[in-house]
Structure 1
Amino acid sequence: MASPIDNIKEAFDGFVEVVNDVAILVNEGPASYPGLYATIKDIHSAILPVGYSLLTLYFLLDFFSKTVNFQFFKWETVVSCCVKLIFAKFIMEHAFDLLDAIFAISAHITNMVGLQGSNANIYVDYDAIEEEYNSLGWFDKKFFAIKLLPFEICIWVIKVVIILVVFGRLFELMIYTAVSPIPISTAINDNLNGTAKRFILDYAAVCLQGIIIIIGCIVYIAISANITLGSFTGNGANMALWKGVLSALALLIVVIKSNSWAKKLTGA
Protein backbone atom coordinates (compact mmCIF):
# COMPACT_ATOMS: atom_id res chain seq x y z
CA MET A 1 0.00 0.00 0.00
CA ALA A 2 1.37 3.40 -1.02
CA SER A 3 2.34 5.74 1.79
CA PRO A 4 1.16 9.37 1.97
CA ILE A 5 4.66 10.39 0.91
CA ASP A 6 4.36 8.26 -2.24
CA ASN A 7 0.97 9.85 -2.98
CA ILE A 8 2.27 13.39 -2.65
CA LYS A 9 5.30 12.52 -4.79
CA GLU A 10 2.98 11.09 -7.44
CA ALA A 11 0.87 14.26 -7.34
CA PHE A 12 3.81 16.59 -7.88
CA ASP A 13 5.53 14.30 -10.42
CA GLY A 14 2.23 14.13 -12.28
CA PHE A 15 2.10 17.90 -12.31
CA VAL A 16 5.56 18.00 -13.89
CA GLU A 17 4.27 15.64 -16.58
CA VAL A 18 1.32 17.98 -17.17
CA VAL A 19 3.73 20.89 -17.66
CA ASN A 20 5.59 18.84 -20.28
CA ASP A 21 2.29 17.84 -21.95
CA VAL A 22 1.20 21.49 -22.04
CA ALA A 23 4.42 22.39 -23.88
CA ILE A 24 3.47 19.81 -26.54
CA LEU A 25 -0.24 20.70 -26.74
CA VAL A 26 0.46 24.42 -27.18
CA ASN A 27 2.21 23.69 -30.49
CA GLU A 28 -0.65 21.56 -31.77
CA GLY A 29 -3.09 23.27 -34.10
CA PRO A 30 -5.83 21.82 -36.32
CA ALA A 31 -3.20 20.46 -38.75
CA SER A 32 -1.82 18.22 -35.97
CA TYR A 33 -4.99 16.11 -36.18
CA PRO A 34 -5.51 15.04 -39.83
CA GLY A 35 -9.09 13.81 -39.38
CA LEU A 36 -10.11 16.86 -37.41
CA TYR A 37 -8.22 19.13 -39.83
CA ALA A 38 -10.24 17.70 -42.72
CA THR A 39 -13.48 18.36 -40.83
CA ILE A 40 -12.48 21.97 -40.09
CA LYS A 41 -11.55 22.44 -43.74
CA ASP A 42 -14.93 21.05 -44.87
CA ILE A 43 -16.74 23.46 -42.52
CA HIS A 44 -14.60 26.31 -43.82
CA SER A 45 -15.42 25.35 -47.43
CA ALA A 46 -19.13 25.18 -46.59
CA ILE A 47 -19.05 28.66 -45.03
CA LEU A 48 -16.93 30.14 -47.83
CA PRO A 49 -19.91 30.78 -50.21
CA VAL A 50 -21.63 32.63 -47.36
CA GLY A 51 -18.48 34.72 -47.01
CA TYR A 52 -18.50 35.55 -50.72
CA SER A 53 -22.18 36.54 -50.52
CA LEU A 54 -21.48 38.81 -47.55
CA LEU A 55 -18.44 40.23 -49.32
CA THR A 56 -20.63 41.16 -52.30
CA LEU A 57 -23.31 42.64 -50.05
CA TYR A 58 -20.81 44.75 -48.08
CA PHE A 59 -19.19 45.91 -51.34
CA LEU A 60 -22.55 47.02 -52.74
CA LEU A 61 -23.42 48.83 -49.51
CA ASP A 62 -20.07 50.62 -49.63
CA PHE A 63 -20.53 51.37 -53.34
CA PHE A 64 -24.03 52.84 -52.93
CA SER A 65 -22.95 54.84 -49.90
CA LYS A 66 -20.11 56.45 -51.81
CA THR A 67 -22.30 56.97 -54.88
CA VAL A 68 -24.92 58.81 -52.85
CA ASN A 69 -22.20 61.01 -51.37
CA PHE A 70 -20.79 61.67 -54.89
CA GLN A 71 -17.40 60.28 -53.87
CA PHE A 72 -17.03 58.45 -57.17
CA PHE A 73 -16.41 61.73 -58.95
CA LYS A 74 -12.85 61.25 -57.67
CA TRP A 75 -10.76 58.73 -59.62
CA GLU A 76 -8.73 57.81 -56.58
CA THR A 77 -11.93 56.66 -54.84
CA VAL A 78 -12.84 54.41 -57.77
CA VAL A 79 -9.35 52.91 -57.91
CA SER A 80 -9.28 52.47 -54.12
CA CYS A 81 -12.60 50.65 -54.14
CA CYS A 82 -11.50 48.28 -56.93
CA VAL A 83 -8.19 47.53 -55.23
CA LYS A 84 -9.99 46.81 -51.97
CA LEU A 85 -12.34 44.41 -53.76
CA ILE A 86 -9.44 42.49 -55.32
CA PHE A 87 -7.55 42.43 -52.02
CA ALA A 88 -10.60 41.32 -50.01
CA LYS A 89 -11.33 38.53 -52.51
CA PHE A 90 -7.70 37.37 -52.31
CA ILE A 91 -7.78 37.31 -48.51
CA MET A 92 -11.11 35.46 -48.58
CA GLU A 93 -9.71 32.78 -50.89
CA HIS A 94 -6.56 32.32 -48.81
CA ALA A 95 -7.99 32.86 -45.32
CA PHE A 96 -7.31 29.25 -44.34
CA ASP A 97 -3.66 29.51 -45.42
CA LEU A 98 -3.29 32.92 -43.75
CA LEU A 99 -4.44 31.61 -40.36
CA ASP A 100 -2.22 28.54 -40.76
CA ALA A 101 0.75 30.83 -41.42
CA ILE A 102 0.03 32.94 -38.31
CA PHE A 103 -0.17 29.78 -36.19
CA ALA A 104 3.03 28.39 -37.75
CA ILE A 105 4.91 31.56 -36.75
CA SER A 106 3.68 31.30 -33.16
CA ALA A 107 4.53 27.57 -33.04
CA HIS A 108 8.05 28.34 -34.28
CA ILE A 109 8.50 30.93 -31.53
CA THR A 110 7.19 28.56 -28.83
CA ASN A 111 9.61 25.89 -30.06
CA MET A 112 12.50 28.34 -29.76
CA VAL A 113 11.40 29.43 -26.27
CA GLY A 114 10.84 25.82 -25.24
CA LEU A 115 14.33 24.80 -26.32
CA GLN A 116 15.83 27.52 -24.14
CA GLY A 117 14.06 26.13 -21.08
CA SER A 118 14.41 22.44 -21.85
CA ASN A 119 17.58 21.97 -19.76
CA ALA A 120 16.00 23.20 -16.53
CA ASN A 121 15.42 20.59 -13.84
CA ILE A 122 12.63 20.53 -11.28
CA TYR A 123 13.82 19.53 -7.84
CA VAL A 124 11.53 19.05 -4.86
CA ASP A 125 13.17 17.92 -1.63
CA TYR A 126 10.99 15.34 0.11
CA ASP A 127 13.59 14.47 2.79
CA ALA A 128 12.05 16.76 5.40
CA ILE A 129 8.60 15.29 4.77
CA GLU A 130 9.84 11.70 5.02
CA GLU A 131 11.89 12.44 8.14
CA GLU A 132 8.92 14.01 9.91
CA TYR A 133 6.56 11.22 8.81
CA ASN A 134 8.88 8.40 9.91
CA SER A 135 9.32 9.96 13.35
CA LEU A 136 5.56 9.78 14.09
CA GLY A 137 3.54 7.08 15.75
CA TRP A 138 0.78 5.07 14.06
CA PHE A 139 -2.06 7.46 14.96
CA ASP A 140 -0.03 10.58 14.15
CA LYS A 141 0.88 9.12 10.77
CA LYS A 142 -2.82 8.80 9.93
CA PHE A 143 -3.39 12.39 10.95
CA PHE A 144 -0.34 13.44 8.90
CA ALA A 145 -1.83 11.70 5.85
CA ILE A 146 -5.05 13.69 6.32
CA LYS A 147 -2.99 16.91 6.43
CA LEU A 148 -1.35 15.98 3.11
CA LEU A 149 -4.69 15.28 1.40
CA PRO A 150 -5.60 18.96 0.70
CA PHE A 151 -2.25 19.42 -1.03
CA GLU A 152 -2.93 16.41 -3.28
CA ILE A 153 -6.43 17.64 -4.11
CA CYS A 154 -5.17 21.15 -4.82
CA ILE A 155 -2.51 19.86 -7.24
CA TRP A 156 -5.08 17.62 -8.95
CA VAL A 157 -7.52 20.52 -9.45
CA ILE A 158 -4.73 22.76 -10.81
CA LYS A 159 -3.74 20.07 -13.32
CA VAL A 160 -7.32 19.66 -14.57
CA VAL A 161 -7.90 23.42 -14.96
CA ILE A 162 -4.61 23.94 -16.83
CA ILE A 163 -5.36 21.12 -19.27
CA LEU A 164 -8.90 22.47 -19.81
CA VAL A 165 -7.57 25.96 -20.61
CA VAL A 166 -5.01 24.58 -23.08
CA PHE A 167 -7.61 22.37 -24.78
CA GLY A 168 -10.00 25.33 -24.83
CA ARG A 169 -7.37 27.31 -26.74
CA LEU A 170 -7.13 24.48 -29.30
CA PHE A 171 -10.92 24.55 -29.76
CA GLU A 172 -10.78 28.33 -30.17
CA LEU A 173 -8.17 28.01 -32.93
CA MET A 174 -10.33 25.48 -34.76
CA ILE A 175 -13.52 27.55 -34.52
CA TYR A 176 -11.73 30.73 -35.65
CA THR A 177 -10.33 28.85 -38.65
CA ALA A 178 -13.67 27.29 -39.59
CA VAL A 179 -15.75 30.50 -39.52
CA SER A 180 -13.06 32.90 -40.79
CA PRO A 181 -14.84 33.79 -44.12
CA ILE A 182 -17.66 35.56 -42.25
CA PRO A 183 -15.62 38.18 -40.32
CA ILE A 184 -13.08 38.57 -43.15
CA SER A 185 -15.88 39.49 -45.57
CA THR A 186 -16.29 42.82 -43.74
CA ALA A 187 -12.83 43.97 -44.94
CA ILE A 188 -14.41 45.43 -48.11
CA ASN A 189 -16.62 47.92 -46.27
CA ASP A 190 -15.10 51.09 -44.78
CA ASN A 191 -17.68 51.18 -42.00
CA LEU A 192 -17.33 47.50 -41.07
CA ASN A 193 -13.71 46.58 -41.81
CA GLY A 194 -12.82 46.96 -38.13
CA THR A 195 -14.48 43.56 -37.61
CA ALA A 196 -12.01 41.87 -39.99
CA LYS A 197 -9.05 43.60 -38.33
CA ARG A 198 -10.24 42.58 -34.85
CA PHE A 199 -10.72 39.00 -36.05
CA ILE A 200 -7.11 38.77 -37.28
CA LEU A 201 -5.86 40.38 -34.07
CA ASP A 202 -7.98 38.02 -31.94
CA TYR A 203 -6.62 34.99 -33.79
CA ALA A 204 -3.06 36.31 -33.38
CA ALA A 205 -3.82 36.79 -29.66
CA VAL A 206 -4.90 33.14 -29.33
CA CYS A 207 -1.61 32.11 -30.97
CA LEU A 208 0.35 34.48 -28.70
CA GLN A 209 -1.45 32.93 -25.72
CA GLY A 210 0.51 29.75 -26.41
CA ILE A 211 3.81 31.63 -26.19
CA ILE A 212 2.77 33.13 -22.85
CA ILE A 213 1.80 29.69 -21.51
CA ILE A 214 5.17 28.23 -22.55
CA ILE A 215 7.03 31.10 -20.86
CA GLY A 216 4.89 30.53 -17.75
CA CYS A 217 5.88 26.84 -17.73
CA ILE A 218 9.58 27.74 -17.96
CA VAL A 219 9.22 30.27 -15.13
CA TYR A 220 7.44 27.61 -13.05
CA ILE A 221 10.38 25.23 -13.62
CA ALA A 222 12.82 27.94 -12.56
CA ILE A 223 10.83 28.76 -9.42
CA SER A 224 10.53 25.10 -8.43
CA ALA A 225 14.25 24.52 -8.95
CA ASN A 226 15.86 27.68 -7.63
CA ILE A 227 13.64 29.93 -5.53
CA THR A 228 12.97 29.69 -1.81
CA LEU A 229 9.62 31.26 -1.03
CA GLY A 230 10.67 32.57 2.36
CA SER A 231 9.28 32.38 5.89
CA PHE A 232 5.66 32.27 4.68
CA THR A 233 6.04 28.59 3.79
CA GLY A 234 7.35 27.65 7.20
CA ASN A 235 9.99 25.01 7.86
CA GLY A 236 10.59 21.36 7.11
CA ALA A 237 7.79 19.40 5.46
CA ASN A 238 5.47 22.38 5.47
CA MET A 239 7.99 24.43 3.46
CA ALA A 240 8.41 21.73 0.77
CA LEU A 241 4.65 21.29 0.33
CA TRP A 242 3.80 24.97 0.24
CA LYS A 243 6.60 25.69 -2.20
CA GLY A 244 5.20 23.12 -4.64
CA VAL A 245 1.59 24.25 -4.28
CA LEU A 246 2.33 27.99 -4.49
CA SER A 247 4.48 27.61 -7.60
CA ALA A 248 1.74 25.44 -9.18
CA LEU A 249 -0.87 28.10 -8.32
CA ALA A 250 1.36 30.77 -9.90
CA LEU A 251 1.45 28.74 -13.12
CA LEU A 252 -2.33 28.30 -12.97
CA ILE A 253 -2.79 32.09 -12.75
CA VAL A 254 -0.50 32.58 -15.75
CA VAL A 255 -2.42 30.02 -17.81
CA ILE A 256 -5.83 31.46 -16.89
CA LYS A 257 -4.73 35.06 -17.53
CA SER A 258 -2.75 34.24 -20.68
CA ASN A 259 -5.70 34.96 -22.99
CA SER A 260 -6.39 38.46 -21.62
CA TRP A 261 -2.65 39.26 -21.53
CA ALA A 262 -2.28 38.18 -25.16
CA LYS A 263 -5.19 40.39 -26.22
CA LYS A 264 -3.66 43.37 -24.45
CA LEU A 265 -0.32 42.76 -26.17
CA THR A 266 -1.92 42.52 -29.63
CA GLY A 267 -4.34 45.38 -29.03
CA ALA A 268 -7.30 43.08 -29.73
Structure 2
Amino acid sequence: MASPVDDIQEAFDGFAGIITEVTSLVTQGPSDYPGVYSVISEIHQGVLPIGYSLLTLYFLLDFMSKSMNFQFFRFETVVSCMLKLVLAKVIMEHAMGILDLIFGLSSHIANLVGTVGSNPTLYKIDFSAMKAEYDKMGWFDQKMYDFKQMPFIWILQGIKIVIMVIVFGRLFQLLIYTAISPIPIAKFIHDGLVDRGRRFLFDYAAVCLQGVIIIIGCIIYIAIIANVNFGFFTGEGSNVELWKGMLAAVILLLVVIKSGSWSKKLVGD
Protein backbone atom coordinates (compact mmCIF):
# COMPACT_ATOMS: atom_id res chain seq x y z
CA MET A 1 0.00 0.00 0.00
CA ALA A 2 1.37 3.41 -0.99
CA SER A 3 2.35 5.73 1.85
CA PRO A 4 1.34 9.42 1.87
CA VAL A 5 4.94 10.22 0.98
CA ASP A 6 4.49 8.14 -2.18
CA ASP A 7 1.27 10.02 -2.89
CA ILE A 8 3.06 13.35 -2.49
CA GLN A 9 5.87 12.23 -4.77
CA GLU A 10 3.39 11.05 -7.39
CA ALA A 11 1.43 14.30 -7.18
CA PHE A 12 4.58 16.39 -7.39
CA ASP A 13 6.07 14.37 -10.25
CA GLY A 14 2.79 14.69 -12.08
CA PHE A 15 2.78 18.43 -11.48
CA ALA A 16 6.37 18.75 -12.70
CA GLY A 17 5.33 16.85 -15.80
CA ILE A 18 2.46 19.24 -16.38
CA ILE A 19 4.98 21.89 -17.47
CA THR A 20 5.78 19.79 -20.53
CA GLU A 21 2.09 19.21 -21.19
CA VAL A 22 1.15 22.87 -20.77
CA THR A 23 4.06 23.93 -22.98
CA SER A 24 2.84 21.57 -25.68
CA LEU A 25 -0.69 22.98 -25.48
CA VAL A 26 0.42 26.61 -25.28
CA THR A 27 2.60 26.28 -28.37
CA GLN A 28 -0.30 24.86 -30.37
CA GLY A 29 -2.14 27.64 -32.16
CA PRO A 30 -5.36 27.66 -34.21
CA SER A 31 -3.56 26.35 -37.31
CA ASP A 32 -2.47 23.25 -35.36
CA TYR A 33 -6.09 22.06 -35.35
CA PRO A 34 -6.77 21.72 -39.11
CA GLY A 35 -10.44 20.74 -38.79
CA VAL A 36 -11.26 23.61 -36.43
CA TYR A 37 -9.03 26.04 -38.30
CA SER A 38 -10.82 25.37 -41.58
CA VAL A 39 -14.11 26.30 -39.93
CA ILE A 40 -12.56 29.44 -38.43
CA SER A 41 -11.13 30.33 -41.85
CA GLU A 42 -14.59 30.00 -43.39
CA ILE A 43 -16.05 32.27 -40.70
CA HIS A 44 -13.20 34.73 -41.28
CA GLN A 45 -13.93 34.79 -45.02
CA GLY A 46 -17.61 35.33 -44.26
CA VAL A 47 -16.83 38.25 -41.95
CA LEU A 48 -14.30 39.74 -44.38
CA PRO A 49 -16.93 41.53 -46.57
CA ILE A 50 -18.30 43.15 -43.41
CA GLY A 51 -14.77 44.25 -42.60
CA TYR A 52 -14.37 45.83 -46.03
CA SER A 53 -17.74 47.57 -45.65
CA LEU A 54 -16.70 48.98 -42.28
CA LEU A 55 -13.35 49.98 -43.74
CA THR A 56 -15.16 51.96 -46.45
CA LEU A 57 -17.54 53.52 -43.93
CA TYR A 58 -14.75 54.56 -41.56
CA PHE A 59 -12.77 55.97 -44.50
CA LEU A 60 -15.74 58.08 -45.63
CA LEU A 61 -16.36 59.34 -42.10
CA ASP A 62 -12.70 60.26 -41.72
CA PHE A 63 -12.74 61.87 -45.19
CA MET A 64 -15.84 63.95 -44.35
CA SER A 65 -14.36 65.01 -41.01
CA LYS A 66 -11.13 66.19 -42.63
CA SER A 67 -13.03 67.88 -45.46
CA MET A 68 -15.18 69.89 -43.06
CA ASN A 69 -12.04 70.97 -41.22
CA PHE A 70 -10.41 71.95 -44.54
CA GLN A 71 -7.49 69.63 -43.86
CA PHE A 72 -7.42 68.44 -47.47
CA PHE A 73 -6.04 71.79 -48.53
CA ARG A 74 -2.70 70.34 -47.45
CA PHE A 75 -1.13 67.88 -49.87
CA GLU A 76 0.49 65.80 -47.12
CA THR A 77 -2.95 65.15 -45.58
CA VAL A 78 -4.27 63.75 -48.85
CA VAL A 79 -1.22 61.51 -49.30
CA SER A 80 -1.42 60.35 -45.69
CA CYS A 81 -5.11 59.47 -46.04
CA MET A 82 -4.53 57.45 -49.20
CA LEU A 83 -1.55 55.62 -47.70
CA LYS A 84 -3.64 54.71 -44.67
CA LEU A 85 -6.33 53.32 -46.96
CA VAL A 86 -3.79 51.13 -48.77
CA LEU A 87 -2.18 50.02 -45.49
CA ALA A 88 -5.53 49.19 -43.90
CA LYS A 89 -6.53 47.15 -46.93
CA VAL A 90 -3.24 45.21 -46.84
CA ILE A 91 -3.65 44.49 -43.12
CA MET A 92 -7.23 43.39 -43.73
CA GLU A 93 -6.20 40.99 -46.50
CA HIS A 94 -3.37 39.48 -44.45
CA ALA A 95 -5.05 39.56 -41.03
CA MET A 96 -4.76 35.83 -40.42
CA GLY A 97 -1.09 35.85 -41.42
CA ILE A 98 -0.35 38.73 -39.05
CA LEU A 99 -2.10 36.96 -36.17
CA ASP A 100 -0.20 33.76 -36.95
CA LEU A 101 3.05 35.74 -36.85
CA ILE A 102 2.22 37.16 -33.41
CA PHE A 103 1.30 33.70 -32.14
CA GLY A 104 4.47 32.20 -33.61
CA LEU A 105 6.62 34.63 -31.64
CA SER A 106 4.85 33.85 -28.35
CA SER A 107 4.98 30.13 -29.13
CA HIS A 108 8.75 30.34 -29.60
CA ILE A 109 9.15 32.09 -26.23
CA ALA A 110 6.86 29.57 -24.50
CA ASN A 111 8.81 26.66 -25.97
CA LEU A 112 12.14 28.09 -24.76
CA VAL A 113 10.81 28.69 -21.24
CA GLY A 114 9.02 25.33 -21.06
CA THR A 115 12.05 23.39 -22.28
CA VAL A 116 14.23 24.88 -19.55
CA GLY A 117 11.56 24.57 -16.84
CA SER A 118 10.73 20.94 -17.58
CA ASN A 119 14.29 19.80 -16.84
CA PRO A 120 13.89 17.40 -13.86
CA THR A 121 17.44 18.02 -12.65
CA LEU A 122 16.38 21.50 -11.55
CA TYR A 123 14.10 20.08 -8.84
CA LYS A 124 16.08 17.88 -6.45
CA ILE A 125 13.90 16.50 -3.67
CA ASP A 126 15.02 13.90 -1.15
CA PHE A 127 11.86 11.82 -0.83
CA SER A 128 13.85 9.02 0.81
CA ALA A 129 14.44 11.18 3.87
CA MET A 130 10.73 11.88 4.12
CA LYS A 131 9.89 8.21 3.78
CA ALA A 132 12.45 7.24 6.43
CA GLU A 133 10.97 9.79 8.82
CA TYR A 134 7.47 8.51 8.09
CA ASP A 135 8.49 4.89 8.74
CA LYS A 136 9.73 5.87 12.22
CA MET A 137 6.31 7.18 13.20
CA GLY A 138 3.85 5.22 15.27
CA TRP A 139 0.53 4.04 13.86
CA PHE A 140 -1.43 7.02 15.21
CA ASP A 141 1.15 9.56 14.02
CA GLN A 142 1.13 7.99 10.57
CA LYS A 143 -2.64 8.30 10.34
CA MET A 144 -2.46 11.92 11.44
CA TYR A 145 0.24 12.51 8.83
CA ASP A 146 -1.98 10.91 6.19
CA PHE A 147 -4.79 13.25 7.15
CA LYS A 148 -2.57 16.34 7.05
CA GLN A 149 -1.22 15.57 3.59
CA MET A 150 -4.59 15.03 1.92
CA PRO A 151 -5.49 18.75 1.42
CA PHE A 152 -2.09 19.41 -0.18
CA ILE A 153 -2.55 16.60 -2.70
CA TRP A 154 -6.12 17.71 -3.45
CA ILE A 155 -4.97 21.29 -4.03
CA LEU A 156 -2.31 20.11 -6.49
CA GLN A 157 -4.87 18.09 -8.42
CA GLY A 158 -7.31 21.00 -8.41
CA ILE A 159 -4.68 23.39 -9.76
CA LYS A 160 -3.92 20.99 -12.61
CA ILE A 161 -7.58 21.04 -13.64
CA VAL A 162 -7.77 24.86 -13.45
CA ILE A 163 -4.61 25.22 -15.54
CA MET A 164 -5.97 22.94 -18.26
CA VAL A 165 -9.32 24.77 -18.31
CA ILE A 166 -7.63 28.16 -18.66
CA VAL A 167 -5.20 26.91 -21.33
CA PHE A 168 -8.05 25.52 -23.42
CA GLY A 169 -10.07 28.69 -22.80
CA ARG A 170 -7.11 30.65 -24.15
CA LEU A 171 -7.23 28.56 -27.34
CA PHE A 172 -10.93 29.41 -27.73
CA GLN A 173 -10.06 33.11 -27.41
CA LEU A 174 -7.43 32.84 -30.13
CA LEU A 175 -9.90 31.10 -32.44
CA ILE A 176 -12.62 33.70 -31.85
CA TYR A 177 -10.19 36.61 -32.30
CA THR A 178 -9.00 35.09 -35.58
CA ALA A 179 -12.54 34.59 -36.86
CA ILE A 180 -13.75 38.16 -36.27
CA SER A 181 -10.44 40.00 -36.84
CA PRO A 182 -11.67 41.93 -39.96
CA ILE A 183 -14.13 43.94 -37.86
CA PRO A 184 -11.67 45.54 -35.40
CA ILE A 185 -8.91 45.79 -38.03
CA ALA A 186 -11.20 48.01 -40.15
CA LYS A 187 -10.75 50.74 -37.53
CA PHE A 188 -7.15 51.31 -38.64
CA ILE A 189 -8.41 53.65 -41.39
CA HIS A 190 -10.03 56.20 -39.05
CA ASP A 191 -7.82 58.59 -37.06
CA GLY A 192 -10.24 58.53 -34.15
CA LEU A 193 -10.50 54.73 -34.07
CA VAL A 194 -6.98 53.61 -35.01
CA ASP A 195 -6.03 53.13 -31.35
CA ARG A 196 -8.89 50.64 -30.99
CA GLY A 197 -7.58 48.69 -33.96
CA ARG A 198 -4.12 48.59 -32.40
CA ARG A 199 -5.74 47.56 -29.12
CA PHE A 200 -7.15 44.47 -30.82
CA LEU A 201 -3.66 43.37 -31.91
CA PHE A 202 -2.34 44.07 -28.41
CA ASP A 203 -5.18 42.04 -26.89
CA TYR A 204 -4.39 39.14 -29.22
CA ALA A 205 -0.72 39.35 -28.23
CA ALA A 206 -1.77 39.38 -24.57
CA VAL A 207 -3.77 36.18 -24.98
CA CYS A 208 -0.71 34.58 -26.59
CA LEU A 209 1.53 35.84 -23.75
CA GLN A 210 -0.85 34.42 -21.15
CA GLY A 211 0.44 30.93 -21.87
CA VAL A 212 4.02 32.02 -21.17
CA ILE A 213 2.98 33.49 -17.81
CA ILE A 214 1.24 30.24 -16.82
CA ILE A 215 4.36 28.21 -17.65
CA ILE A 216 6.64 30.57 -15.70
CA GLY A 217 4.24 30.49 -12.73
CA CYS A 218 4.34 26.68 -12.65
CA ILE A 219 8.14 26.67 -12.86
CA ILE A 220 8.49 29.17 -10.00
CA TYR A 221 6.06 27.19 -7.85
CA ILE A 222 7.87 23.89 -8.35
CA ALA A 223 11.23 25.56 -7.66
CA ILE A 224 9.90 27.02 -4.40
CA ILE A 225 8.44 23.72 -3.24
CA ALA A 226 11.51 21.72 -4.25
CA ASN A 227 14.01 23.99 -2.53
CA VAL A 228 12.10 25.11 0.53
CA ASN A 229 9.16 23.06 1.66
CA PHE A 230 9.38 19.40 0.75
CA GLY A 231 12.44 18.62 2.82
CA PHE A 232 10.63 19.80 5.95
CA PHE A 233 7.29 18.05 5.54
CA THR A 234 8.30 15.65 8.33
CA GLY A 235 9.94 16.16 11.68
CA GLU A 236 9.86 19.28 13.83
CA GLY A 237 8.13 22.22 12.20
CA SER A 238 6.36 20.03 9.64
CA ASN A 239 2.98 21.67 10.22
CA VAL A 240 4.32 25.13 9.42
CA GLU A 241 6.09 23.95 6.28
CA LEU A 242 3.04 22.00 5.14
CA TRP A 243 0.92 25.11 5.42
CA LYS A 244 3.58 27.03 3.49
CA GLY A 245 3.35 24.41 0.75
CA MET A 246 -0.43 24.71 0.56
CA LEU A 247 -0.22 28.52 0.65
CA ALA A 248 2.25 28.45 -2.26
CA ALA A 249 -0.18 26.21 -4.18
CA VAL A 250 -3.05 28.64 -3.57
CA ILE A 251 -0.88 31.55 -4.73
CA LEU A 252 -0.06 29.63 -7.91
CA LEU A 253 -3.80 29.18 -8.46
CA LEU A 254 -4.27 32.95 -8.18
CA VAL A 255 -1.37 33.52 -10.60
CA VAL A 256 -2.98 31.21 -13.15
CA ILE A 257 -6.36 32.90 -12.76
CA LYS A 258 -4.83 36.39 -13.02
CA SER A 259 -2.52 35.46 -15.91
CA GLY A 260 -4.90 37.01 -18.44
CA SER A 261 -4.99 40.46 -16.82
CA TRP A 262 -1.23 40.36 -16.14
CA SER A 263 -0.47 39.61 -19.78
CA LYS A 264 -2.58 42.63 -20.85
CA LYS A 265 -0.59 44.88 -18.54
CA LEU A 266 2.68 43.51 -19.90
CA VAL A 267 1.72 44.37 -23.49
CA GLY A 268 0.70 47.87 -22.45
CA ASP A 269 -2.96 47.80 -21.42
Q: TM-score, normalised by structure 1?
A: 0.87
Matched, 1:202 2:211: no
Q: Which residue of 1 is the match for residue 25 of structure 2?
A: 25
Matched residues in 1 for 2:220 and 2:11: separation? 20
Q: Secondary structure at the match of 2:126?
A: coil
Q: Secondary structure at the match of 2:122?
A: coil
Percent identity over the alignment?
Answer: 59
Q: Tell me by how many angstroms 1:152 deviates.
A: 1.7
Q: Secondary structure at the match of 2:185?
A: helix
Q: Which residue of 1 is the match for residue 191 of structure 2?
A: 190
Contact kept, 8 Å, 2:133 with 2:235, in 1: the verdict is no
Matched residues in 2 for 1:225 and 1:183: separation? 46
Matched residues in 2 for 1:232 and 1:132: separation? 10
**How many residues end up aligned between the 2 structures?**
268
- Paired letter, 2:68: V
Q: Which residue of 1 is the match for residue 84 of structure 2?
A: 84
Q: Which residue of 2 is the match for residue 257 of structure 1?
A: 258
- Paired letter, 1:97: G
Q: For residues 39 and 99 of structure 1, do their structure 2 counterparts lie closer, same or farther at Cα, with a shift above 3 Å needed?
A: same
Q: Tell me by how many angstroms 1:10 deviates.
A: 2.6
Structure 2 segments unaligned to the other structure (5+ residues): none
Contact kept, 8 Å, 1:213 with 1:255, in 2: the verdict is yes
Q: TM-score, normalised by structure 2?
A: 0.86
Contact kept, 8 Å, 2:113 with 2:215, in 1: the verdict is yes
How large is the RMSD of aligned CA atoms in angstroms? Answer: 2.8
Cα deviation code 1:151-180 (max 9, x no counterpart) = 221111111112222222221111111111
- Paired letter, 1:207: C
Q: Which residue of 2 is the match for residue 266 of structure 1?
A: 267
Contact kept, 8 Å, 1:233 with 1:239, in 2: the verdict is no
Deviating beyond 6 angstroms after TM superposition, the runs of 4 or more aligned structure 1 residues are 229-234
Deviating more after overlay: 101-110 vs 224-233: 224-233
Q: Which residue of 2 is the match for residue 9 of structure 1?
A: 9
- Paired letter, 1:30: P
Matched residues in 2 for 1:250 and 1:128: separation? 27
Matched residues in 2 for 1:98 and 1:63: separation? 27
Structure 1 segments unaligned to the other structure (5+ residues): none
- Paired letter, 1:204: A
Q: Tell me by how many angstroms 1:147 deviates.
A: 2.4
Q: For residues 232 and 77 of structure 1, do their structure 2 counterparts lie closer, same or farther at Cα, with a shift above 3 Å needed?
A: farther
Q: Which residue of 2 is the match for residue 41 of structure 1?
A: 41
Q: For residues 33 and 26 of structure 1, do their structure 2 counterparts lie closer, same or farther at Cα, with a shift above 3 Å needed?
A: same
Q: Which residue of 1 is the match for residue 168 of structure 2?
A: 167
Q: Tell me by how many angstroms 1:35 deviates.
A: 1.0
